[in-house]
Every structure is written in C-alpha cells, then in structure tokens.
C-alpha cells in the first residue's frame, strides 16, 4: 500500500493494518492515526517513536510485556503472531535443539526475573548465536539502560514491519 492509501484508511482500517507493528499493541497505531496525513513511511515511524518515547517507564514496560519470549512457550504452542513466527524463524529460533531450547528458557527466565519484562531484540537483524550472546550480555545491564535498549529494539522491529506494509516513496513514484 502506498502512503496515499495509508492516509485514506479509516480509523478501524488503520488499526487493522498497523495494529501489530508494535507487537500486540494496537493502542500504538490507534494513538498515531489522528496524526494523518503522513508525509511518508518515515513520518509514520517518527510518530510511533515519539508516542512510545513519551510514555512513562510503566507504559514502555507494558509494551515490552506484550512481546513473547524468543523460542518460548508461544512458539512451542503455536500461538505467536504471524509476524513473530516469521521473525523468529528467520533468526533460527524455530529450529533449536533441546539443549539450545533449555539455554534460551534459562536465559529468558533470568532476564524476566531481573528486569520484569521479556527480552526484546530485533530477531530479523540477528542470528541465533548473536541473540544468545546479546541476551547473556544484556543481563548485565542496569534496569534503566536495559529498558531504553529494549525500546530501541521495539522501534527496529516496528520499522521493519512498517516497511513490509507501506511501499517506500521511491516505489510509488516509478
């Protein structure tokens, strides 16, 4: 869809198409709908980022809590969103052996115990080995620094998801 089609969407249509650009947080797309008309995809991203960054820490934590554990229960039970299933698959999280699953379970549990929200990383931009390395490394962060890091990862995920929905301006001008 091009930016003109995005701007023509009703509230309900906008939330339908963009409701999961931030995992299981249609509230984010609902909040930015009124900022239309958007100039381009970067403008949508900026409004989403501004909205998320304006939230108090408790709101940011709420957004993070909507994310599933990587290689976790939702993956095993088949209840991941379509987007998360694709992203985790691209990163190799869907083909872990039993030792790797156990390691991810342990690290995810430690992370949630320490920070109170799940580990979030843009899986599409990372390999299985890099995800494990980052998860182990980020466990050492201070809580405030980790909250900001995790929110930065949310914006990366959001950007990639937006780019899978909205055609870049260059394509609409061809």
Interacting residues of 83 by C-beta distance below 8 A, sequence separation 6+: 20, 23, 161
The answer to whether the CB of 155 falls within 8 A of the CB of 52 is yes
From 16, 47, 67, 149, active-site residue = 67
From residue 109, alpha-carbon distances to 32, 39, 139, 160, 162 in Å are 33, 42, 11, 27, 30
47 catalytic per annotation: no
d(CA 39, CA 77): 40
Taking residue 140's Cβ as centre, other Cβ atoms within 10 Å add up to 9
* H-state helical runs in 55-123: 57-65, 73-77, 82-90, 98-115
d(CA 104, CA 106): 5
The catalytic residues are 67
């Amino acid at each position: 869809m091009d930016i003109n089609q995005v701007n023509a969407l009703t509230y309900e249509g906008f939330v339908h198409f963009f409701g999961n650009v931030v995992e299981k947080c249609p509230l984010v797309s609902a909040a930015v709908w009124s900022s239309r008309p958007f100039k381009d995809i970067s403008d949508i991203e900026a409004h989403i980022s501004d909205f998320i960054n304006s939230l108090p820490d408790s709101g940011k934590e709420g957004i993070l809590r909507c994310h599933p554990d990587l290689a976790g229960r939702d993956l095993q039970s088949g209840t991941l969103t379509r987007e998360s299933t694709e992203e985790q698959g691209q990163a190799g999280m869907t083909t872990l052996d039993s030792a790797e699953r156990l390691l991810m379970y342990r690290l995810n549990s430690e992370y949630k115990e320490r920070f109170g929200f799940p580990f979030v990383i843009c899986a599409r931009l990372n390999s299985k080995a890099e995800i494990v390395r980052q998860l182990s490394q980020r466990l050492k962060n201070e809580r405030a620094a980790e909250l900001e890091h995790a929110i930065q990862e949310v914006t990366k995920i959001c950007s990639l998801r937006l780019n899978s929905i909205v055609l870049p301006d260059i394509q609409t001008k061809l």
